[in-house]
Amino acid sequence: MTILAIGAGAYAAFAPRNRGMVHVRGGPAVLGYVYYTGLYGPMAYQVDGFWIDRFEVSNADYAAFVQATGHAPQAFWDDPEFNRPDQPVTGVRHDDAVAFCAWAGKRLPTEIEWEKAARGQDGRIYPWGNAPTLELAKLDGDAPAPVDGYPGDVSPYGVRNMAGNVAEWVADTRVARAGQCRDTNAAPRNATPEMKQLLAELAAANGGVLPALCSAPAALDESIPGEPCAYIKGNSWDGRPHMTVASNRLWDYTNSYAEFVGFRCAKGE
């Protein structure tokens, strides 16, 4: 812990750059997609106003939290590829992210809040718009970039790196059963006209058959033992191109951590 305390002090000069928040005004936003790996949509959701961190939580920020609270450091705090002060913190469990945000007087964003912050109100596919210009985001390499890198990966609200760099824990939790983290039942989706058009286009591009991800999954047997899990949003330096769309949802067990998963915080108005 002596080494960590020295590191936290050295990181202090970097911390303020990651503490700014941006305001996301309340109102409708087109969110979701026709795949069952995300929110029902695309359709309008009414979202209350909130604040969200402009940048991902950095190693510098997390070191300050560890030094102030005695919380255990992130898994990669001593790995030179992942512990630079201006990189996003990784190697944190869901509970670690919750604890950091509470210490900072904030909370994790919900999936709906995260997606609105990334997509704006108009249902755009990526934070920067609908064009698949994936070079704007950090989607390759051996480690994440600084939290203020890749200025083209910016949402309509000025939130950075929501398409790439690191994927991010959000507040939504479930119980994972049979290798699936979702509600035990999936209600049929009564498609809006926009969804019907999109489904028709997907079927046409798939030999006249809808992709499997458009089909409602079978109900999960609640007698199967389960483990807590949580949703993850955004792609990362270690992800695949199709995961870059802002509607995409990943998940992991809440007691797991990865070198490509970090977080950012939010708070209500």
The answer to whether residues 268 and 48 touch, using CB atoms and an 8 Å cutoff, is yes
User: Residue 200: its pLDDT value, please?
Assistant: 95
Grouping H, G, I as helix, E, B as strand and the rest as coil, residue 5 is helix
Query: How would you class 73 by CB atoms within 10 Å of its CB: exposed for 0-12, middle for 13-18, buried for 19 or more?
Result: buried
Grouping H, G, I as helix, E, B as strand and the rest as coil, residue 127 is coil
User: Residue 6: its pLDDT value, please?
Assistant: 32
φ, ψ of residue 118 to 5 degrees: the values are: -80, -40
User: Residue 15: its pLDDT value, please?
Assistant: 44
| Domain locations along the chain | 2-268
Helical segments of the chain, H only: 2-11, 59-69, 94-103, 111-119, 193-205
What are the angstrom distances between the C-alpha of 36 and each of 167, 198, 207, 250, 268?
Answer: 19, 14, 20, 11, 28
φ, ψ of residue 212 to 5 degrees: the values are: -60, -30
User: Residue 185: its pLDDT value, please?
Assistant: 87
CATH code of 2-268, in short, is 3.90.1580.10
CA pair distance 224, 167, nearest whole angstrom: 29
User: Residue 186: its pLDDT value, please?
Assistant: 79
pTM beyond 0.95, yes or no: no
Mean pLDDT by 10 residues, the chain (269 residues): 37 49 96 93 95 97 96 96 97 98 97 98 96 97 97 97 98 96 84 90 95 91 95 96 95 98 96
CA pair distance 250, 243, nearest whole angstrom: 9
* Count of CB atoms situated within 10 Å of the CB of 191: 15
